[in-house]
């Protein structure tokens, strides 16, 4: 009898852990993000850009506001992580950064000519990869999840 009593808490722990893994929004989002990232990484190798670099460069190209602060907000990156990522792109000659003309505390970022060319090439690969991805999963569901989590940034 004592032996069964000792096994019961472990069985409950296993059951509770499995339920948590199954239900946890963060765990499932991270798992999905890893799988999506790997899929795009495998399908966009010829662009020689990581998925993170591609996304950041696309954010830069699409933006009306070229400030680092606005880019950090749009990309969901903290300023120090954003700076490290941009420094790599700057070393590779893909982006340029400078202090603002009227406010030296404001830094701006834009694609270099080489960066714009690389992004155009990567976008062609991304379109093919994304079409294949869309045939496999509901990419609209992923977009809805991203949109639904915008509120969390405000909390």
pLDDT tens, residue by residue, 98-109: 876 666 667 889
Look-up of token digits 């990484």: 41
**pLDDT for the residue 69:** 87
**pLDDT for the residue 58:** 96
Choose among 104, 112, 113, 125: nearest CA to 86.
112
Q: Please provide the CATH number assigned to the domain covering 44-154.
A: 1.10.10.10
**pLDDT for the residue 150:** 86
**pLDDT for the residue 153:** 78
**pLDDT for the residue 90:** 96
Look-up of token digits 């009227």: 102
Q: Determine the number of helices (DSSP H) and then strands (DSSP E) in the chain.
A: 8, 2
Residue spans of the domains in the chain: they are: 44-154
**Dist CA 44 CA 132 (whole Å):** 12
**pLDDT for the residue 118:** 96
**pLDDT for the residue 13:** 92
Handedness of CA 20, 26, 28, 30 (dihedral sign): negative
**pLDDT for the residue 107:** 84
Which residues of the chain fall below pLDDT 50?
1
Q: Are 83 and 102 in contact (CB under 8 A)?
A: no
What share of residues in the chain are helix, strand, coil (percent, to 5)?
75, 5, 20
**pLDDT for the residue 2:** 53
Q: How far is CA 122 from CA 117, 127, 134, in A?
A: 9, 9, 18
**pLDDT for the residue 144:** 93
SS3 107: strand
For 128, the token pair is 């093919």
């Amino acid at each position: 009898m004592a032996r069964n009593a000792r096994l019961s808490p472990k069985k409950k722990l296993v059951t509770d852990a499995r339920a948590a893994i199954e239900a946890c929004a963060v765990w499932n989002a991270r798992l999905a993000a890893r799988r999506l990232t790997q899929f795009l990484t495998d399908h966009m190798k010829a662009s020689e850009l990581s998925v993170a670099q591609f996304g950041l460069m696309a954010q830069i190209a699409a933006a009306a506001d070229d400030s680092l602060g606005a880019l950090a907000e749009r990309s969901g990156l903290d300023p120090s992580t954003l700076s490290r990522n941009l420094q790599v792109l700057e070393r590779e000659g893909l982006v340029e950064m400078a202090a603002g003309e009227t406010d030296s505390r404001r830094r701006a970022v834009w694609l270099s000519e080489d960066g714009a060319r690389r992004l155009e090439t990567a976008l062609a690969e991304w379109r093919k990869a994304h079409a294949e991805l869309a045939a496999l999963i509901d990419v609209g569901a992923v977009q809805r999840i991203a949109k639904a989590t915008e509120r969390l940034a405000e909390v």
